[in-house]
Structure 1
Amino acid sequence: MKTTLKNIAIGLMLSFTGLFWSCEDDDSVSKPVITDLEIGIDNSRTAYVGSDLHVEAEIVAEGKIDIITIEIHREEGSEDEIAVEYDEFQGLLNTTFHEHVDIPAETVPGEYHFHLTVTDQGGNQTTVEEDITIEALNDDEAPTISVTSSPESGQSFSSGETITIEGTVTDNSSLAGLLVALVKESDEISDDDVTGSNTSIIVMLHTHDFENEASHTFSASIEVGAEYDNNMEPAPIEGDNAWASGNYYILIKSKDANGNWAVSEHYPVTITL
């Protein structure tokens, strides 16, 4: 009987000790860490009315990410506020946060305060703040697309071969987007409908990140038969855009911060599987 009671006592002591250390460990979880924050193209800290704002940061959360929020507002008490929540990073210990925040067309230009907040699953929270400028653009001039290297017209590509096109895009104010797509001719997709979200095209390159606001050199490529495309979030090449023998063309599109679009000519290629 004494032995049994002694064992129970030891067990309780170990249980309480474990509970103590568990609580101590919970209390010692560090707050999320946010580093290498970039706001705006070329880290300009500038956004444009009716466009989107590039935001990128490295995030480490020992307690695992729960929610990430961005708030953009003027002085306290102002009703001019943009707020966005991101929950797709839940459960991650670290991530490269890369998003584009829409700046509504009705936004009043001026000086704003930017807040990026990371909350972990234990409720620990870290916020970084920056001053940014939101500007209005009076600009109706589209970017310029210059192709320096492309496949020969109608050139044939087989499985395992790589299709590549290179060039530059420039703008008089600020570049905001670039898309290079491989489009099947028989799908009869209009140039307006060639977008990063169109599941019938094969994305060779899709980016909102540029060397600087006015000029960017690009190289876009895709291997015939590749399992995934080169979208900002690579997607499987299957279903509507599955590889098939036939006539295709490469199309390049670029927009500026005021929403002016430039569209290239078609660069025909043939796929033979």
Structure 2
Amino acid sequence: MMKSQHTKLMTMKSTMIVCFLTGMCFTACKKDSGDNPEPLQPTIQNLEIGINNNQIGVIGKDFHFNADVLVSGKIANVQVKILPRTGETYIKAWSHEITWDTYNDAKNTTVHKHFYIPTDAVEGKYDFVVIVNDQNGSKLEVKKSITIYAEANVPPNTVITH
């Protein structure tokens, strides 16, 4: 073999080796989407809102809330918000919000709470929003409809507790 052909052959081999090693580096560094899947969104099951799950709140009375909360990591907190509904008319502005940090660091839990509808609440239809925040930054919001009554205006045969 002539020296120039030998040099060309060596250069070609070197180029192929460099290309092969470069390709291996990029292949090895490529992140596989299956390695770190997105954390699953929190979920809520067995949601109960109001006494006997009737979606009714009575001003100044006990309100029942129950939900099984499932997260892929750990819970940061659980919130409920009672917010005015779009298109509804109220005699004054009113909303209510509660955050429970007591579930922080729990994997999964049953949130069973009783709280009072404040005495300054206003009758009407509201959005009842349940929010679960987990420590991975995922958030779930579930919106349900509730009606808040003054005790004197509660529909007949509605169970209320003090």
- TM-score in same-fold range (> 0.5): yes
User: CA RMSD for the aligned pairs?
Assistant: 2.8
Deviation at 1:106, TM superposition (A): 1.4
- Give the drift of 1:108: 0.9
Residue 159 of structure 2 corresponds to 174
Q: Aligned ranges for residues 143-222 of structure 1 at < 5 Å? A: 174-176=159-161
Q: What residue in structure 2 maps to residue 270 of structure 1?
A: none
Which of 87, 91, 107 is equivalent to 1:93? 107
Structure 1: state its 5+ residue gaps.
1-12, 140-171, 177-255, 257-273
Give 1:97 deviation, angstroms: 0.8
Tell me by how many angstroms 1:22 deviates. Answer: 10
* TM superposition shift of 1:101: 2.9
1:134 partner letter: I
Secondary structure in 2 aligned to 1:91? coil
What TM-score, normalized to structure 1? 0.43
Equivalent of 2:134 in 113, 120, 124: 120
Extract unaligned runs of 5+ from structure 2.
Answer: 1-24
Count of aligned pairs = 129
Instruction: Provide the C-alpha distance between the structure 2 equivalents of 1:129 and 1:32, rounded to a whole number of angstroms.
Output: 15
Structure (1/2) with the larger helix percentage: 2
Matched residue SS, 1:138:
helix
Question: Which structure carries more relative contact order (alpha carbon 8 Å, separation 6+)?
Answer: 2
Q: Which of the two has greater strand per residue? A: 1
Q: Does structure 1 retain, via aligned residues, the 8 Å contact 2:62–2:160?
A: no
Distance 1:62 1:106, change over 3 A: same
Task: Please say which structure displays the higher CA radius of gyration.
Answer: 2
Q: Contact 1:112/1:133 (CA < 8 Å) preserved in 2?
A: yes
Could you tell me which residue of structure 2 aligns to residue 74 of structure 1?
Answer: 84
CA offset at residue 94 of structure 1?
0.5
The answer to whether the 8 Å contact 1:68/1:117 transfers is yes
Instruction: Tell me the TM-score normalised to structure 2 length.
Output: 0.70
- Percentage of pairs with the same residue: 31
Could you list the structure 1 runs, at least 4 aligned residues long, displaced by more than 6 angstroms after superposition. none
Counterpart CA distance in 2 for 1:79 and 1:29 is 38
State the alpha-carbon separation in 2 of the partners of residues 114 and 175 from structure 1. 18
